[in-house]
Amino acid sequence: MIQSYFAEMLHSVFQKKRLSLLLTLIFLSVASACKKNQQRDFPLVSFDQYIYLNNPSNIELQSPGGAIYFNGGYRGLIIFRRYGNNQVDDFAAFDRACPKHYSEDCSQLELSDDRVFAECPCHGEKYLLFDGSPGEGATISMVEYRCTFDGAVIRARN
């Protein structure tokens, strides 16, 4: 009888320790999976820009793969045409500041000659213009702003 009581108590203690260990492991897994959003500290800048496709200085945006520099954002904007189907998602607006080290003077992204990448002159990181995703040497995406298109005018804003 006493032996059975101790066996049950010992079993109960082991069950509680197992549960405690399991909960600790789950907590540590979740905590380590949550990474700090590296773009969270990026300066918020309010702007509202209209880019007219019929303006001769914006002629590059009349075909897919075209890109131009434009005012706005933290260090300027890169406006990129993804598609040529005159839909609202045809265009993307990215900040020219390198998201990795935006506060450095040299961090203004430059378009590659083939208009596929934006490159950081500071450390050579590359970002894919189609969606701003990190390319060679980069670990986080470009900062993208809201962009709409009505068939003639692109509106980029934050």
Residues 28, 84 within the same domain: no
CA proximity to 102, closest of 34, 44, 153: 44
Torsion angle, alpha carbons of 104, 109, 112, 116, to 10: 130
- Model confidence over 99-155: pLDDT tens digits? 998 989 899 999 999 999 999 999 999 999 999 999 999 999 999 999 999 989 999
Residues 7, 74 within the same domain: no
Residues 22, 53 within the same domain: no
Residue carrying structure tokens 């490159």: 119
3-state secondary structure of 45: coil
- Model confidence over 6-47: pLDDT tens digits? 556 555 655 665 645 444 545 445 444 444 444 458 899 999
In a domain, 87, yes or no: yes
- Is pLDDT above 90 for 96? yes
Mean model confidence pLDDT for the chain: 83
What confidence category does residue 156 fall into, taking pLDDT thresholds of 50, 70 and 90? very high
Q: What is the pTM of this model?
A: 0.73
**What pLDDT is attached to residue 144?**
96
Distances (CA, A) of 140 to 1, 100, 122: 64, 7, 16
In a domain, 43, yes or no: no
Domain count, the chain: 2
Q: 17 is in which domain, residue-wise?
A: 1-34
- Model confidence over 49-59: pLDDT tens digits? 999 999 999 99
